[in-house]
Amino acid sequence: MPYGHASSRLDQSSRNPLRARAAGGQACGKSIAAPPSIDGRTGSTAPAPPVGHPRGAARSAPGPIRRSRTCRGPPDAEPNARARRREGALTMSSISIIGLGQMARVLADRALDGAHAVEVVGRDAAKAADVAAALGRGATAGTVGAAPAGDIVILAVPAGSAVPVVSRYGDALAGKVVVDISNPFNSEATGVVTPEGTSVAQEIAKAAPASAHVVKAFNTVFGGVLAQGRPVDVFLAGDDARAKARTSAFVESIGLRPWDTGDLAMARWLEGAGVLMMGLGRHGVGAYDFSLGVTTAG
């Protein structure tokens, strides 16, 4: 869908801890247009769902890569920011992104803005090379199935592909932080297709090596909003405290605000929040240019 520019908030009350923020306004720095659809298609006027929607299976040639300076809020705006940094060695220097859609490209662009080394990986080697070249700044193209170069591996693939991809990599993911950003929507994006009591992230954890640690993150941020370069909130969940701290440090390094929701079982509800966002986009907001966020009172 085309990007909209809303200026109002659904709820501006500090008493309500969960709010949906409109994502309009001026982004930092100069930029060129990013692809208008979260599922990687350019020129689409269809509503753009969060990553993982079944429509995301269709991919186009790489669109233009957005260039902007990342908007950064106060470094200690989030109460636990200092504590996370004290845990040491949390800011990662290398990120591998498996997938070549819009969300993959936007995350890669912001990671490069945050001074990380970035590797992009896709089934189409030529397309991966094109995406890396378009990103510039030393981005490289990896090989599907080979050990990812990054210490953090972001799975930017449709929900139905996530577990097979992790199974294919097998022990090559040993010791990695594996970040799942998918949403397992049904065909109408009115519910999830995962069985009760589990989530895509939990199924990924079962398929991954024991030394890999899965974190759910970024599934509650629309790619079009992320591409604007604005500081938005990112909810995450995982069983390993250090993996969550490393993911949170990465989130902060690209100008976003991490919020820890608990262990990996919470991924079920984060994936449900993706459905909530689709409902808001269709009804309450009437567009997909908003983000969910947290406001603390006091």
**Confidence (pLDDT) at 36:** 33
Mapping DSSP to helix (H, G, I), strand (E, B) and coil, where does residue 12 land?
Answer: coil
**Confidence (pLDDT) at 298:** 78
**Confidence (pLDDT) at 93:** 74
| Matching residue, tokens 């992230």 | 201
Domain boundaries, the chain: 18-290
**Confidence (pLDDT) at 24:** 47
**Confidence (pLDDT) at 61:** 42
| Beta bridge mates, 259 | 235
pLDDT tens per residue across span 217-247:
999 999 999 999 999 999 999 999 999 999 9
**Confidence (pLDDT) at 150:** 98
Residues of the chain falling short of pLDDT 50: 1-19, 24-48, 51-64, 66-79, 81-90, 92
What six digits make up the tokens of 192? 């999830």
* Contact criterion met (CB below 8 Å) for 96 and 154: yes
Which residues have CB under 8 Å from 276's CB, separation 6+? 292
**Confidence (pLDDT) at 50:** 54
**Confidence (pLDDT) at 211:** 98
Q: How far apart are CA 152 and CA 161, in angstroms?
A: 19
* One-letter-per-residue 3-state SS of 228-290: CCCCCEEEEEECCHHHHHHHHHHHHHCCCEEEECCCHHHHHHHHHHHHHHHHHHHCCCCCCCE
pTM of the predicted model as reported, rounded to 2 decimal places: 0.76
**Confidence (pLDDT) at 296:** 93
pLDDT tens per residue across span 117-142:
999 999 999 999 999 999 999 999 99
Q: What is the CATH number of domain 18-290?
A: 3.40.50.720
